[in-house]
Amino acid sequence: MSRSPRQKTALILGITGQDGSYLAELLLAKGYAVHGVVRRASMFNRSRIEHLRSGTGRNRLTLHYSDLTDHTSLRRIVQKVAPREVYHLAGQSHVGLSFEIPEVTSEENATATLALLEILRDLPYAVKFYHAASSELFGAPRTAPQNETTPVNPVNPYGCAKAFAAQMCRVYRQAYGLFAVNGIAYNHESPRRGENFVTRKISLGAARIRAGQQKEIVLGNLDAKRDWGWAPEFVEAMWLALQADEPRDYILATGRATSVRDFAAAAFAELGMKLKFSGKGRAETARRTDTGAVVLRVDPKFYRPVESTTLLGDARLARKALGWKAATIGPAVARQMARADFAALKA
Ligand code: G4F
């Protein structure tokens, strides 16, 4: 086992995901040696980092096989790599799905985070740990916007697991002096977002409808509002949080909420399709004003058993302590995603 960390060496759990791939890009550009943990699967799922494996910096990118449930192999990887910074961005990240698979959600998001904390606690040198906490730990908060002191009140299995993991980070920080940071991130999106999240479902759907490849998109609750930001900006905050003198928790958010309906309207408008909404709630639809065709429909099957409410973040601490501020917000996120998806379809 290495007795000291390798400077400018980072380990990313979740490197094949949206955030992991942007973070890997950022760290490689900063001259880091980047190690990523990938799941062994029969099909490769590395499309988001494929370009890094052939670009400049490829010699500084190493992938290791493991799984969040295999704590022994995670320990071995950490000991071998001896990272100075560990970014834990992995796990089951779909809130709706967490109602279907609560135990997997809890194993990956709660127990695995605790296992990582235990692994890092045993290291013979000081390591810095970033945990991707989530606004979902606030669930149904009594106040808006939320800040680092707002009480947790999760309303779904995903939020419960994140609340446990975030609190464990605080315990290890206090009890063992571990440099553990919770980034309490609100929704952050990009063209690399998975297609089962609402933003990407909308941007890709709008692009396909514009290209004549799809007729309509079917969504759940259009009244739901989220504080939507831009993922590449959020990974900057993750890195900055580990460069600070002290480990703290940070709200990472834009401070502005947009409804699913308005997000969809912005994405469609960007591709030249103005929408007219009619009906209410579970019977709402939207037509294109130019053709009159229904292009958006609500289906109650996409409603959640319980919806998180008023998730709006106050990121003033991140601004003050890290100099970080979200620049791309709500409708601008929708426009950029729709443009990128349409460009990719044309290409
Ligand atoms: O895109 P969503 O599935 O994201 P959600 O649930 O807010 O969670 C995301 O952000 C969290 C906070 O940062 C993360 F912790 C989490 O890992 C994930 O990245 O849903 C957003 C909203 C919800 O209110 C949902 O009810 O959109 C509503 N919605 C309406 N129709 C839909 C749909 N969501 C999905 N996934 N699919 C729909 O058809």
pLDDT of residue 308: 87
282 lines ligand 1 (CB under 6 A): no
Identical topology for domains 9-190+227-257+308-328 and 198-223+259-307+340-346: no
pLDDT of residue 56: 83
pLDDT of residue 255: 98
Q: How far does the centroid of ligand 1 lie from the alpha carbon of residue 173, in Å? A: 30
Which CATH architecture group holds 9-190+227-257+308-328?
A: 3-Layer(aba) Sandwich (3.40)
User: What is the Cα–Cα distance from 180 to 294, expressed in whole angstroms?
Assistant: 49
User: What is the Cα–Cα distance from 254 to 188, expressed in whole angstroms?
Assistant: 9
Q: Measuring CA to CA, which residue among 149, 141, 182 is closest to residue 311?
A: 141
pLDDT of residue 318: 98
pLDDT of residue 3: 67
**If DSSP states are collapsed to H, E and C, what string results for the chain?**
CCCCCEEEEEEEECCCCHHHHHHHHHHHHCCCEEEEEECCCCCCCCCCCHHHHCCCCHHHEEEEECCCCCHHHHHHHHHHHCEEEEEECCCCCCHHHHCCCHHHHHHHHHHHHHHHHHHHHCCCCCCEEEEEEEHHHCCCCCCCCECCCCCCCCCCHHHHHHHHHHHHHHHHHHHHCCEEEEEEECCEECCCCCCCCHHHHHHHHHHHHHCCCCCCEEECCCCCEECCEEHHHHHHHHHHHHHCCCCCEEEECCCCCEEHHHHHHHHHHHCCCCEEEECCHHHCEEEECCCCCEEEEECHHHCCCCCCCCCCECCHHHHHHHCCCCCCCCHHHHHHHHHHHHHHHHC
Q: How far does the centroid of ligand 1 lie from the alpha carbon of residue 212, in Å? A: 26
How many residues belong to the chain?
A: 347
User: What is the Cα–Cα distance from 230 to 195, expressed in whole angstroms?
Assistant: 16
Q: Provide the CB-side half-sphere exposure for 289 (13 A, CA).
A: 9
277 lines ligand 1 (CB under 6 A): no
Give, in order, the Cα–Cα distances in Å from 103 to each of 16, 160, 202, 325.
23, 11, 29, 35
pTM for this predicted structure:
0.97
Domain range summary for the chain, segments of one domain joined by +: 9-190+227-257+308-328, 198-223+259-307+340-346
221 lines ligand 1 (CB under 6 A): yes
Which CATH architecture group holds 198-223+259-307+340-346?
A: Alpha-Beta Complex (3.90)
Q: Measuring CA to CA, which residue among 143, 144, 138, 183 is closest to residue 163?
A: 138
Ligand 1 nearest atom to the CA of residue 132, by list position:
15
pLDDT of residue 2: 63
Rg over CA atoms, the chain: 20
pLDDT of residue 7: 83
User: What is the Cα–Cα distance from 7 to 106, expressed in whole angstroms?
Assistant: 33
96 lines ligand 1 (CB under 6 A): yes
93 lines ligand 1 (CB under 6 A): yes
Residues with pLDDT less than 70, the chain: 1-3, 42-44
pLDDT of residue 42: 63
